[in-house]
Structure 1
């Protein structure tokens, strides 16, 4: 007899603790660097709460037979109709919590991009993707809440009643909304690739930066498996608890991976505490790393607004045309230390400074 319960429990037991640790580490990193909390941190917390709600719903559904054939656990007082009704109710509530978990994790990543790439050409694509994500979120909520009129027809009626009163078939709903958000995930993953490619970093640091952004690929992979399970879904199935088993297992993994992807780029300050002296440090022999290409905007008068590089040496040798006129922001891979409202310096190639007092 097929039983997907172990897969569901394993998916939740592995991914939710990782997502929880990633979120806690993100908040600790913000405290370590004294950068303050921002809207992207709040959105990540809401995304995690959505994953927790999805997990709670799933654990209750397991008690009601999720992952097992419908015939298991039936009694005179708990008939097939009762179990099928509970399955449809659980499926509706998981659709609701899944929507919040996925959407707010996307919002957190996009808000992070908006803060990070303040002087980049990809800010317009970020705005476009943000609008698309908001539209997806609202449309999916609308479809979840109003797919049947009245909504109770989704679980109280038989298949003939659902066909008459439900204007959106569950199979169409699952496949279309999941396909759309998979495409959004891929776009969000690709978005910073060009900007990251412009960075001139030591090999170890470049690998670290690529890994931070590339973790989103795992989320996309989980999304694809959810899409496959959505394609297999049949609303007239007599084995609702069984066919939703793998679908739920991949859904909870996807939501937790999305939370991790939203938090991972912020964790370098914590990693430095745990692994001092590793390639995660931004220095190599006390040399500062200059990162200006992705954040530089040239002007017609030859003056350039550039994010200042982080200087860790005790003294300024005075030979650079850019001096720290204000507290410089950290390098790109010091993402966890970026304050809300990036500070900049203005430098000119036509002026040479001899000392910090000039």
Structure 2
């Protein structure tokens, strides 16, 4: 009796990772929704006007759920998560697998819109938190690059095949196609490179803050959480390279499904990371709720009593201003008042050499002047 190949064994044909995929992605999307919802709850609790970064995040959330819905459709009705031999045995005409490829084609376009929305939200947040010349220039450059990538990638995915339907029709159809996995590889590399640039932009300003090293590390950690996106992008890059190099079969619905998983987890982590800085005021609020008392929380309570001074990271001031900092010129310095973190003081050029450096100092409880 001839020995069965690995692709003909009962275990291989019965393999199905669909239920596990749906459960895992559901948990990721629920967690992402909770974090984004907390972001808006903090805004409403502190009576802070929503900024453009918040509205972009509000757009990103339904886009993330749309990708999840498309991925679920591909799993339930397109055979994703099962091996190709199993899917074709269920439908020799290939209509099941073709539905999955069509769903994936739509999901790729939604993915590009989602990534662009998250990046724009982060850029606007950086612009509000650090309104310096360096950050303004960096935001402008990265914004143009992101928009250019959005337009080019959208057109590339839509027109990857001529005629367009050849991208998902598995039967013989006259026309030409660009290797879709090369496109995936390019997009993943772009996300990694721009992700590093996105991390470097706030880190430059944090490095120049004149505060205690412990406080500086704490602020840096908040922004470095965005590095988690790069980690998942690298994982996705490896999966793409494995397919392009032929180490795994790019036509196998199992491998396509695994790549789809990272395409959902990657932007979800980006949304969570971009929502962490606006959640900074939640820490002292939780501390008071659990009866934790510290001098910092006491100062927070005093600041909360003065609603005119309440400003949070990444938001708009309660007075209706579009910037997240309230500025007053005072004796050659520029004071920027921020809720929970005390005041940021811009030292004059003669003292420090650059008017674009922000330095944090603690305010007195009895005076609004920083010392």
TM-score for both structures, normalised by structure 1: 0.77
Q: How far off is 1:42 after superposition? A: 0.9
Q: Are the equivalent residues in 1 in contact too, given 2:226–2:270 (CA < 8 A)?
A: yes
Residue 348 of structure 1 is aligned with which of 331, 336, 340?
Answer: 331
Name the one with the larger helix percent.
2
Q: Show the counterpart of 1:321.
A: none
**Cα distance per residue 1:99-149 (max 9 Å; x no partner):** 122111111101111121113422101110011011111111111111112
1:240, distance to aligned residue in structure 2 (A): 3.1
1:221 match: 231
Q: Distance in 1 between matches of 2:140 and 2:180?
A: 31
Q: Which position in structure 1 is the counterpart of 2:282?
A: 270
2:313 corresponds to? 335
Residue number in structure 1 paired with 2:184: 174
Does the Cα contact within 8 Å between 2:87 and 2:96 map onto a contact in 1?
no
Counterpart CA distance in 1 for 2:222 and 2:250 is 43
Q: CA deviation at 1:192?
A: 0.6
1:87 CA displacement: 2.8
* CA distance 1:346–1:233, change in 2 (3 Å): same
1:147 maps to 2:160: yes
C-alpha offsets along residues 290-316 of structure 1, whole Å, 9 cap, x if unaligned? xxxxxxxxxxxxxxxxxxxx984999x
Matched, 1:165 2:176: yes
Unaligned runs of 5+ in 2: 1-11, 334-366
2:68 counterpart of 1:58: no
The structure showing larger relative contact order (alpha-carbon pairs under 8 Å, at least 6 residues apart) is 1
2:207 matched residue in structure 1: 197
Q: Which residue of the other structure, out of 32, 35, 46, is the alignment partner of 1:22?
A: 35
Cα RMSD of the aligned pairs, angstroms, is 3.3
The answer as to 2:202 corresponding to 1:188 is no
CA–CA distance in 1 between the matches of 2:185 and 2:87? 30
**Structure-to-structure mapping, 1:31-180, within 5 angstroms:** 31-63=44-76, 64-74=78-88, 78-79=91-92, 81-158=94-171, 161=173, 164-166=175-177, 168-180=178-190
Structure 1 residues 258-310: Cα deviation after superposition (integer angstroms, max 9, x where no partner): 111121110123333222289x999538569xxxxxxxxxxxxxxxxxxxxx9
TM-score by length of 2: 0.75
Equivalences, count: 314
Structure 1 residue 212 and structure 2 residue 222: aligned? yes
Distance 2:132 2:73 in 1: 47
